[in-house]
Amino acid sequence: MGDLVELEVGNVANGGFCVARHQGRVVFVRHTLPGERVRAEITDRTKNFLRADAVEIIEASEDRVVPPCPFSGPGRCGGCDWQHASLAAQRRLKAAVIAEQLERVAGITRTVTVEEVPYPVEAEFVPGPGLGWRTRVQFAVQDGSVGLRKHRSHTIEPIDECLIAHPGVEEMGIETSRWPGASSVEGIVSNATGDRLVVVRERGKRRARVPRLPVPVRLIRGKPEPGSSLPYVREEVSGRMFQVSGSGFWQVHPGAAQLLSDAVLEALEPKPGDIALDLYCGVGLFAAGLGERVGRDGLVVGVESDGQAVRDAKFNLKDLKNVAIERGQVEEVIADLEFGKADGSDRSQTKRGGGHHRGTRVRGADIVVLDPPRSGAGKDVVDQIARLAGRKIAYVSCDPATLARDLGYFSERGWTLESLRGFDAFPMTQHVEVLATLVKG
């Protein structure tokens, strides 16, 4: 630990690292780029590999740039992985990671590109390239001071500004205020409406002191009781408003929700009268677009485990009579579903009594979209989807490794990767959104 070694840097690896070797051992190095020669400090040793930070660049890549953030770099804030790379290079690195994971984990060879996610054209303020996009930022608090955690550490890097945070988050003045008694403070803003939320988590039983902020916000203190009515922000996609309560999930880049919604509809090609499943549906983003496309003779069933997200989804889609939202773990709910398809009053029905049903029962769905958490869907869920789906599956993922694993499972069950798109919804970081479209055969 702490040793300095000189390294010839090789390919990019998943997780914001590049790969090098030292005395026959693999070294995962941060703050460097493929092809560089660096002096690196060893930060961690395991039985099989080392981790290191590049602290001196001996021979630089032509893709290297000066990081725009003063808190970025070895031993500093761990929020951004690629501030030292040009945006074009960042997208090439993310594409390389996706391609490597597909080939290594799933045995799929595919040329991959990662697309820019543009700011909405109607945005009031468009920040510099790759900056100002994160509409939801959770800051850590230590002794009342606000910051972001260092990489693989509980240590906090105090900051007074986050350059990837949306301007609406920065206007709240969270980083420049003191928060005694808090363990974290999350700032949330809607790029569409300007709605603002601040979520304060308290340290132990101590009540946090909330400072006076320069702009009006809705405040959530502590962990709300299940079923409680929470403050929310409103987001807009395709002219529809979505209520997102508390810290509920929504895409953090202002342009990502619209782009992904359009991409999923383009991939699945829903037809009037189709039966569609939206798994891990959140507040109903994909279910909304599908419900409008399949029409009154079709049916969309959304499945979500989070109770607050289910309440939001039902509110957001209350005008779509052909959409039903079921609460529960995906693997449990879809095992129980029976689908009805007859008229505009269609609903799903489960053995546990959720929803309503009129019409002929149909075992299966024409199209399926799933957007699971970072851990992916897993073997059991893939097995059920592979049996239920009839025509196409759209898999939205924020983790290339678990996506590749699940695509391997789908392949074993007779589903083939038809197309794949990457979206740079998280500039300056290693994270990426991927949409994989699968067909039978």
The pLDDT value given to residue 339:
61
* Angle ∠(333,329,306) on CA atoms, nearest 5: 120
The number of residues making up the chain comes to 441
Q: Which residues contact 122 (CB under 8 A, 6 or more apart)?
A: none
- The model's confidence at residue 405, banded by pLDDT at 50, 70 and 90, is very high
Domains of the chain: 4-77 (2.40.50.140), 136-231 (no CATH), 255-440 (3.40.50.150)
Lowest-pLDDT choice from 66-70, 228-232, 253-257, 276-280? 228-232
Radius of gyration of the chain (CA): 23
* For range 413-430, the mean pLDDT: 98
Pairing of strands 232-237, 240-245: antiparallel
- Is position 80 annotated as part of the catalytic site? no
Three-point CA angle 238, 193, 322, nearest 5°: 35
Q: Which of 18, 77, 80, 398 is catalytic?
A: 398
pLDDT digits (tens, 9 = 90+) for 61-110: 999 999 999 999 999 999 999 999 999 999 999 999 999 999 999 999 99
Q: What is the pLDDT of residues 319-361, one digit of tens each?
A: 999 999 999 999 999 988 866 543 434 445 444 344 433 333 4
Nearest CA-CA partner of 438 in 413, 411, 418, 414: 418
Looking at residue 127, its pLDDT comes to 83
CB atoms within 10 A of CB 263: 18
Q: Would the pLDDT of 232 be above 80?
A: yes
pLDDT of residue 84: 98
Residue-level pLDDT at 128: 87
* Mean model confidence pLDDT for the chain: 93
Per the annotation, binding residues for S-adenosyl-L-methionine are: 251, 280, 304, 371
Q: In angstroms, how far apart are the furthest CA atoms of the chain?
A: 71
Predicted TM-score of the model (pTM):
0.94
Q: What residues are designated binding site?
A: 251, 280, 304, 371
pLDDT reported for residue 371 = 98
Q: What is the mean pLDDT of residues 421-428?
A: 98
The pLDDT score that the predictor gives to residue 219 is 96
**In this structure, how many other beta carbons lie within 10 angstroms of the beta carbon of residue 101?**
23
Residue 47's identity, in one-letter code, is K
pLDDT at 251: 98
What average pLDDT does the segment 161-180 reach? Answer: 97
> Does the pLDDT of residue 204 top 90, yes or no?
no
- Three-class DSSP category at 91: helix
